[in-house]
Amino acid sequence: MARKKESTSLKVLLTEFKELKNIDEETMLHVLEDSFRSILAKMFGSDDNFDVIINADSGDFEIWRTREVVADDAVERENEQVAYTEALEIDPEAEIGDDVTDSVDFLSFGRRAIVNLRQTLSSKILDLQKEHFYQTFIERVGELITAEVYQVWKRETLLVDEDGNELIMPKSEQIPDEYFRKGDSVHAVIARVDNENNNPRVTLSRTSPEFLKRLFEINVPEIADGLITIKRVARIPGVRAKIAVESYDDRIDPVGSCVGMNGSRIRGIVRELHGENIDVLTYTANDSLFIQRALSPAKISSIELYPETAKAEVY
């Protein structure tokens, strides 16, 4: 009775891990085989002479062991050698020096072996999930996402995206005086992805210049279509921002397109940034002229450029 219970639990175990999301079938089979081999290596000292066969559809598995036939009194390595008399029970035509292969009943190893298998599988699956999580988000740095606030702490906020992934937004990446409540839907940009000690951590930001760029991209079709290019962005989050845009088509007014009719386009961005004052200006490769435009409406009497340090003195 106990044997049947163990068999059922092991089959459920294999099916449970096989159906995990974000892990393809081929990878899952490799993980299962490696887990079995890890247990076999611990029990027998080596898994080199074992073959593990797993049925991806049913979750069933077979383990076969190949050993060399030796004389009855010459067995020195039980995992690699089998006595002639025992070999005849496996293959009646076996002779000394031949290799014979027989099935190994994993369940006969007892409950401890099954528990060890589950722990090994869990560890390998967790590592795979962490790697998948890291690789997925490292490719999405700079992307604008929407996530729901799950928990608010003093120094950071925990958010969850539509796939249930946990993301972090430190207080320093939030617009000053911004306050979130559990359940709030928040727009932010993926600022960076760290992977310290195999513990991936995704940091979101609403203060980075990249966040402002992404907001303009979704609110100004000409930018999304590549007709207008964002060349420079500077921000004091929650206070003011300047964004320089350029159009290669003389028929398109880059500033007017970004602002919209009666400010219709930029108004939504300002509202998202809690009233941050946004100045849009036309980019130019002439550094002196660009600085004048950026500092407008301030009156500039002279500009001293230092190209080697990328700095300028303005009077």
The CA distances from residue 254 to 223, 235, 272, in Å, are 9, 19, 21
Look-up: residue for tokens 């980019």? 283
Q: Which two tokens stand for residue 124?
A: 């390998």
> What is the value of pTM for the model shown?
0.77
The C-alpha atoms of residue 103 and residue 90 are separated, in whole angstroms, by: 10
Q: How is residue 263 annotated by DSSP?
A: G
Which run of H or of E encompasses 96? none
Residues ≥6 apart with Cβ < 8 Å to 205: 169, 173, 188, 189, 191, 211
pLDDT of residue 242: 95
* Domains of the chain: residue spans and CATH: 2-136 (3.30.1480), 140-205 (2.40.50.140), 209-283 (3.30.300.20)
**CA R_g for the chain:** 32
Contact call for residues 206 and 169 (beta carbons, < 8 A): yes
Mean pLDDT of successive 10-residue stretches along the chain, which has 315 residues: 42 61 73 88 90 78 91 90 92 92 84 84 86 93 96 96 94 93 96 92 97 96 94 94 92 93 93 94 90 84 86 86
State the burial class of residue 273 (Cβ atoms within 10 Å of its Cβ: 0-12, 13-18, 19+). Answer: buried
Measured CA to CA, the distance from residue 271 to residue 280 in angstroms comes to 16
